[in-house]
Structure 1
Amino acid sequence: MTINIVLGGPRGKMGTEAIKMMTNEPHFQLVACIDRKNNGKTLHDIQHICDENIPIFDDAASCFQEIKADVYVDLTVPQIGFEYAKLALEHHICSVIGTSGFSEEQIDELSILAEQNKTGCIIAPNFALGAVLMMLFSKMAAKYFPDVEIIEKHHDKKIDAPSGTALKTIDLIKQSRTSKIQGHPDEYEIIEGARGGDVDGIRVHSMRLPGLVAHQEIVFGSKSQLLTIKHDSFHRESFMDGLKLAIEKVTHMQKLVYGLEHVLDVE
């Protein structure tokens, strides 16, 4: 069965890789794009990797009304990605959201909307399958190593910190770990923020530098030992297997799930 896809964010680096993947999958059909700058143009006008005259809309509502789509893929930014995802679900179009930075309230609102419309939605902080396994392994380790810090590193064009992957990792770790204060009880910062962010006693450190793509390590400490779980994405191509899987799975769902681990066979 062919899956008709609308892509939000075709000009970005992730969007470029997604277009390559979608046009090379025989059962995927990219039918439209949403881009705030190129209304009325075709995808070939802005992305010469694509030979097809796929229409571009700057208005998501018009796109979802005029185009017959099965799945909306959002690779935009949080400010507009949330509104686009809402519109897609309201039009009973399944959604795969790779945009990070949504608040808990926004995720809850999308979850309610997905259930009301019986329409699938996957929010994936990270599409790299290795990164998903990294998060799951961290959940397992936290049961035995409750002292933990997270270092996440991304390119300097990323605007949210910490990353969605770090936040999802914390969420999974909290399911296995009792909340605790780490470090010396009298520690203090000479430079504010030197110890990183603090979520439930877990310290999170964010780096933003040119040359990076997406990297994270979780360091667990215990008596006389350290356990480090690490994942590196060196190219955005690493996210495409997970994105492909999410597109295939979401059409069979009638609710929202947060995290790609919910569609992986990891039991």
Structure 2
Amino acid sequence: MTTAPGSADAPSAAPIPVVVAGALGRMGAEVVKAVHGAPDCVLVGAIDSTPGKEGADVGLELGLGDLEVAITADFEGTLCQASQSVRQSGPGGGAVLVDFTHPSVVYEHTRGAIAYGVHPVIGTTGLSPEQLQDLATFAAKASVGGAVIPNFSVGMVLLQQAAAAAARFYDFCELTELHHNRKADAPSGTCIKTAELIEELGKTFNPLQVDEHESLAGCRGGLRDSGLRLHSVRLPGLVAHQEVMFGAPGETYTLRHDTIDRSAYMPGVLLTVRRVRTLEGLIYGLEKLL
């Protein structure tokens, strides 16, 4: 998978055309508002399958006024229109798709965007390692830059880097992620990404100290090959939270990040939108852009 972005992005005279998939969802609505408020971006498409909303103006639906962008459930048609309306090609050109939809369709959405030459910025989690590799290969062949970002929060990236550094000094570690109860996948893509960064050290964690027995299956969390255990909590009232706890004789070291409002993700989303068109392939993780 290509991991290095291209040269520093230079500002373009024309605003960046952006299509938002999942435009009426909790995250998608925030993206629409952020794109509308960014002077270097322009919303050109709003995709959503909410019943009864086909043809409605997305701006009026979200309290932004008339944006002259109609909501549509036609994903492929919208990509085709965005691709044809943007004639500029090569690094720094083309339209951008920001996707916050559902794990069941994210692979097809990402592959479809690449096929139409639209740069995917994927916030939807649930892609398998095999799917990520397939998409990276496809993006490289198509020469289309893209980004799969499990978490757009700069604070979460800092937590992940701190966890990867701390893992050198601790042999015992467990991860817990907490989200609202409408999140479809578990564990979260952010939690998996954190575990992957910790595992880059190449060591095994949590050596058994006793012959464990679960009286309730799964109560010890999901076990990865590295020995790391991942726990998921789903409750109304939560937004997105993650805790990484390290343990050693006589001490614990805990890293925690709490997202209080989804607006926290928007600086990362806009950063990715501005840079994705300069990438040489598909990247995975916001840290590749910071």
Q: Match of 2:232, SS?
A: strand
Letter of the 1:216 counterpart: Q
Task: Give yes or no for contact 2:177–2:232 (8 Å, CA) kept in 1.
Answer: yes
**4+ runs of 1 displaced by more than 4 Å?**
none
Task: Give yes or no for contact 2:45–2:78 (8 Å, CA) kept in 1.
Answer: yes
Aligned twin of 2:260: 234
Distance 2:19 2:102 in 1: 16
Aligned twin of 1:95: 120
Larger relative contact order, structure 1 or 2 (CA cutoff 8 Å, min sep 6) = 2
Task: Give yes or no for contact 1:19–1:50 (8 Å, CA) kept in 2.
Answer: no
Letter of the 2:282 counterpart: L
What pairs up with 1:48-127 in 2 under 5 angstroms?
A: 48-67=63-82, 68=85, 70-127=95-152
Aligned twin of 1:222: 248
Letter of the 2:270 counterpart: K
Q: Match of 1:4, SS?
A: strand
Letter of the 1:79 counterpart: S
Aligned twin of 1:6: 19
Equivalent pairs, count: 264
Aligned twin of 1:251: 277
Which consecutive unaligned segments of at least 5 residues does structure 1 have? Answer: none
- Pick which of 44-53 and 211-220 moved more: 44-53
How far 1:157 moved relative to its partner? 0.6
Letter of the 1:87 counterpart: G
Could you give the per-residue CA deviations for residues 76-129 of structure 1, whole angstroms, max 9, x where no partner exists? 111122211111101111110000111112111211111011111111110111
Task: Give yes or no for contact 2:173–2:206 (8 Å, CA) kept in 1.
Answer: no
Letter of the 1:43 counterpart: V
Distance 1:36 1:124 in 2: 23
Task: Give yes or no for contact 2:59–2:69 (8 Å, CA) kept in 1.
Answer: yes
How far 1:45 moved relative to its partner? 5.0
Letter of the 1:31 counterpart: V
CA RMSD, aligned part only? 1.4
The answer on 1:135 being equivalent to 2:150 is: no
How far 1:44 moved relative to its partner? 3.3
How far 1:42 moved relative to its partner? 2.7
- Pick which of 144-153 and 33-42 moved more: 33-42
- Pick which of 17-26 and 173-182 moved more: 173-182
The answer on 1:263 being equivalent to 2:276 is: no
- Pick which of 138-147 and 178-187 moved more: 178-187
Distance 2:144 2:171 in 1: 37
Structure 1 counterpart of 2:61, from 43, 46, 55: 46
Q: Match of 2:278, SS?
A: coil
Which consecutive unaligned segments of at least 5 residues does structure 2 have? Answer: 1-11, 86-93
- TM (norm. structure 1) is 0.94
Could you give the per-residue CA deviations for residues 23-81 of structure 1, whole angstroms, max 9, x where no partner exists? 11100101111122444333135333342111333222211112235111001111122
- TM (norm. structure 2) is 0.87
Letter of the 1:251 counterpart: R
